[in-house]
Chains A and B, each alone.
Chain A
Amino acid sequence: MEKVKEEIRIKIIHPIAHPEIYQAYGKSMGGGILMYGPPGCGKTHLARATAGEVQASFMAVGLHDVLDMYMGQSEHNLHNIFELARHTAPCVLFFDEVDALGAKRSDMRHSSMRQVINQFLSELDGIHGVNEGVLVLAATNAPWHLDSALRRPGRFDRVIFVPPPDQEAREAILRILLADKPTRHVDYPKLARSTSEFSGADLKGSVDTAVEDKLREAMKRGIPTPLTTQDLLAAIKGVRPTTQEWFETARNYAIYANQSGLYNEILDYLKLSKGPGLFSGSPFRGN
């Protein structure tokens, strides 16, 4: 997580805070960061945090905005969003669940969808205007469904993996989640150890369950008692981490479709070797 934050700092927060330094090196503000990773591990959360920290306007485009584009005056909509961002520059534009907007064009059967995707690509390039000062942030948990054209230089040239929280991060998240709840002697390190592979959302779900169980008990007994480590462990036991399924898919992409090195971070995370012969290029195309 720290690595992701650092990347966002360098690429988005610092250029806006100190534009003169970047200009001195002849580096213009722009381009984009694509975050990907298992669901519920804080991509959207991170983008929102960035919005609070950055000295610029922040615009978020979500799934339902994208569906509206597909259904209605699609092209104008997307164009308007970019125009607005250019006018209010410096501006951070955040596209959540970007795979809905930037899906592989070959997957899209409807020409209206394909048009919107093409529009997205050309807006990112700034063909319809200069994108100076417009920083684009995007998140997805299905990077494999994205059109590879999105990763060309000048578009999303930074692709970063947002992993599930490690033990330390899980402990911190649990502390935040339980901060305003009545607890007694909660053994946070122990909880963090028994929640490996849990996403932030899974942790939140576990805490919610524990609280609900406690409430039910309090109703029955008439005396409210604080949450204990045992209560939380019981709730944790009933949760199958949602990241597992994601990693099963990701593993396959990392093994078989990593020709461009896109999934190296996943290979590292899963401790799979990048042995020879794994990623020999396609014999059918020159890559």
Chain B
Amino acid sequence: MPAPLERARLLLQTRRYEEAEAVLHQALAGTPGNSQAHALLALALYRQDQDEEALQQVQIAIGLAPDHAHHHYIRALILLDMEREAESMAAIREALRLDPTVTGYYGLLGQLYMQKRAWQQALEAAETGLQLDPEDVQCANLRAMALVKLGRLEEAGQTIGAALACDPENSLTHANQGWAMLHRSKPEHALVHFREALRLNPMLDWARQGIVEALKAHNVIYRLMLRYFLWVSRLTTSQQWGVIAMSSGALTALRTIVRQVPVLWIIALPLLLLYRLFAFLTWTARPLFALVLRLDPFGRLALPREEIVASNWVGACLLVSLVSLLLVLPLGAASLFADWPVVAPAFLLLSAAAFLLMMPVAGVFRRPPGGRRVILAVYTGLLGMVGLVAFLFALTGAAWGIGVGMALGMAFFLGWTLYSWLAFLLAMTD
């Protein structure tokens, strides 16, 4: 390797991406058309999150040396970072066609399959990689996570155990062990591994997410919800559709039966209420329990900023709801027995609206930042305004005011029901 390229490679290794970029630009100015230099430059840019420019550089490298497998691998990495999974998949396939002996390529291939929720193919990719190098950490981890997703939790544990025996100082392996423990509903064990993962590499997001979940899972209710979340995360896309279809089918069936045999309401009502509560919690559990976690001195530090913001909003809704609910009784009594204006209905309305509003508010933060989140946020804001105006009308205490308030309350409720469809639609068209 020529000296400037060697220098650039060392700079990349010592994480001096800007300097590497400068050296490579200089080298390319001196001797243009060196595919290695373009590929290294692509890597330097990719490390600085300049994906567009990185992609350009790697395209040049591929144009100069189309049968160099590693260039295609770098291209796949960049495309994956740009969330262009299909193209990334094509690129890594090309790399593997040119050189099927590189373990790392199978690791990336498997990672792409994991993103497509194709657990079986991911497992196969990992195992092919492991045949080439039985000690490859990336492929061992991939195999373990694919096994977790396939529900083969025991085998996953064994794989990770073996990987840890090989390299006990690997943060990714510890993080994966943590997640495997969460999937097995052992949050205490999970916590130990997440802590270790973060001790080894505090910047590992995968472990930071995990430690937050493990800490929240101290709470029994959240533990149950987490079980459900993780179960859903193991389903393939078509299985997820199946669950949605079956649950809505079961609901319709229940309603039809009850209409025929009204006595059964006694059983159906608690069931339906429980279902409603559960559905509500699938939206709000994360921020609600983030709120709980903030009482814990360590939990407070572990929570990412985003979750803190979400829990602030949801917590504000909850507070308004509880305070106004507490006001309903004394205010009602005051207007019955003393000469107070009739404001209790207004506060009852406010309490209900604020409570329901937690769901759309939590839903906003479930989406990654971007245009769709803004749509949901605006919709939620409008919904909140409708609720507030309804409250203000009802606060007049006059019959007409309460009437208008109730009507607006109905509009709020309708809008609230439509929200989940809107969110669903936005998620589908991703």
Contact = CB atoms under 8 A, between A and B. Distances in A.
Interface of A: 63, 67, 70-71, 99-100, 103, 106, 108-110, 113, 142, 144-145, 249, 252-253, 255-257, 259, 272-273, 275, 277-278, 280, 282-284
Contact of A253 (B14, B15, B19, B202): B202
B97 interface: no
Contacts of B203: 249, 252
A257 B202 contact: yes
18 contacts: A63-B14, A63-B16, A67-B10, A70-B10, A100-B14, A109-B13, A252-B198, A252-B203, A253-B202, A256-B195, A256-B198, A256-B199, A257-B199, A259-B199, A277-B297, A277-B298, A278-B298, A282-B199
B325 interface: no
Interface of B: 3, 6-7, 10-11, 13-16, 19, 168-169, 192, 195-196, 198-200, 202-203, 208, 297-298, 301-302
Contact of B202 (A108, A255, A278): A255
Contact of A282 (B6, B196, B297, B302): B196
A109 to B, nearest CB: 7
Nearest to A249: B203
- B-side interface mostly: helix
Given A71-B7, A71-B10, A255-B301, A100 B16 contact: yes
A167 B11 CA distance: 35
Contacts of B6: 71
B297 A71 contact: no
Contacts of A277: 297-298
A275 B13 contact: no
A272 B199 contact: no
Nearest to B211: A256
Nearest to B200: A257
Contacts of A280: 195
B16 A252 contact: no
A264 to B, nearest CB: 15
Nearest to A278: B298
Contacts of A70: 10
B307 to A, nearest CB: 15
B196 A284 contact: yes
Contacts of B169: 106
Nearest to B305: A248
Given A142-B15, A253-B202, A256-B195, A284 B10 contact: no
A275 B14 contact: no
Contacts of A67: 7, 10-11
Contacts of A145: 15
Contacts of A272: 301
* Pairs A-B, 8 closest by C-beta atoms: A252-B202, A256-B198, A256-B202, A100-B14, A275-B297, A253-B202, A257-B202, A255-B301
A278 B300 CA distance: 11
A284 B13 CA distance: 28
A116 to B, nearest CB: 11
Given A252-B202, A255-B202, A257-B198, A278 B10 contact: no
Q: For B3, B10, B13, B297, which residue has the most chain A Cβ atoms within 10 angstroms? A: B10
Contacts of B302: 255
Contacts of B298: 275, 277-278
A280 B196 CA distance: 10
A252 B304 CA distance: 11
Contacts of B168: 284
B196 A113 contact: no
A142 B19 CA distance: 16
Nearest to A285: B168
A103 to B, nearest CB: 7
A144 B6 CA distance: 25
A273 B300 CA distance: 11
A199 to B, nearest CB: 16
B297 A273 contact: yes
A98 to B, nearest CB: 11
A282 B10 CA distance: 32
Contacts of B19: 63
A107 to B, nearest CB: 8
A108 B13 contact: yes
B19 to A, nearest CB: 7
A31 to B, nearest CB: 25
B196 A71 contact: no
Given A67-B11, A252-B202, 15 more contacts: A67-B7, A71-B3, A71-B10, A99-B14, A249-B202, A252-B208, A255-B198, A255-B301, A257-B198, A257-B199, A259-B199, A275-B297, A275-B298, A282-B196, A284-B168
A259 B198 CA distance: 11
Contacts of A99: 14
Contacts of A253: 202
B192 A283 contact: yes
A220 B251 CA distance: 75
Q: For B6, B7, B200, B301, which residue has the most chain A Cβ atoms within 10 angstroms? A: B301
Contacts of B200: 257
Contacts of B208: 252
Contacts of A283: 192, 195-196
A287 to B, nearest CB: 10
Contacts of A257: 198-200, 202
Contacts of B13: 108-110, 113
A145 B192 CA distance: 23
A280 B13 CA distance: 32
B21 to A, nearest CB: 14
Nearest to B302: A255
A272 B203 CA distance: 18
